[in-house]
Amino acid sequence: MIADLRIQTLSQLSAGHEWRLSLPHDRPEQLLIWVTRGQGRLLLDGQRRGIGAHNAILVPARHLFALDLGRQAVGQVVILPDGSTLDFPQTPSQLRIRDGSAMGELTALIESAAREQQTARPLMEAALSAHGTLISIWLQRQLALEEHIAPRPNAAARLTSAYASRITQHFHQPMTMADHAEALQVTPTHLTRACKAATGRTAAELLTDRILYEARQLLTNTSVPAQDIARFLGFGSAAYFTRFMVHHTRSTPSALRRTATKPKDAA
């Protein structure tokens, strides 16, 4: 049986490797990230934003995002796995919580769910589902507040959001940034400028980073041969894939796989 909800710390989510959060990627799960200490940068829904303590970040499944956090950052993550009967609001959101009672309420809900998960008592799944429902209600109430109604994104952010959605769907296909620009009915130059303005990354960098994340994830978490990973990600040859990985990580695919069980980056 798939648990409707699980709780992890930010350190557990990164599994000891900073790239697992800092490289733009998407996940099959829905995430609620509750940052309780520290600051950094967030890429979400085609925009780059600053984040700090008591920020609640809602990341729907298959939405491109990245977190670049300082080493002192602390937080918890509520995960609704693919197949969960629960559902969080589907709007990518960053909520800067300023009300002390709202901070305490969310912290208490997450901590209570975490304790339930740790003790694994009878009816744990039902209890976690109930906690998830309460967390979803907390989110809906916060999103309804005027202070959390997001302003309409500008044209650059809207275009970058559409491009990010295409990346999540097609990153493993042999499509260039120019191919995506054509599909979006803009020039590559216009798409690049829009992405740079909205995210601080060029359109080509966003696509490259998503491919790089998937490559590292597959090399770290599976035993799939590198040549098959290369083929899946649209590389013309295993040699080209190796050159790509060396250029971006200074390591060959085989070297990355060998060191996968020896995390060096702090979460």
- Over the stretch 53-69, which tens digit does the pLDDT of each residue have? 999 999 999 999 999 99
Asked whether the predicted pLDDT for residue 229 surpasses 60, the reply is yes
Ranges 67-71, 77-81, 133-137, 211-215: which has the least confidence? 67-71
Q: Which two tokens stand for residue 171?
A: 């990153």
Which CA distances in Å does 239 have to 151, 186, 211, 256, 258? Answer: 46, 33, 16, 15, 18
At residue 259 the predicted structure's pLDDT band, cuts being 50, 70 and 90, is confident
Amino acid at 220: T
From the options 3.40.50.10490, 3.40.1410.10, 1.10.132.20, 2.60.120.280, give the CATH code of 6-148. 2.60.120.280
The residues facing 48 across adjacent strands are 43
Asked whether the predicted pLDDT for residue 152 surpasses 90, the reply is no
User: Would you say 44 and 95 are in contact if contact means Cβ atoms under 8 Å apart?
Assistant: no
Q: CATH 2.60.120.280 residue ranges in the chain?
A: 6-148
Asked whether the predicted pLDDT for residue 262 surpasses 60, the reply is no
Residue whose structure tokens are 């959605």: 165
Q: What is the CATH number of domain 155-259?
A: 1.10.10.60
Q: CATH 1.10.10.60 residue ranges in the chain?
A: 155-259
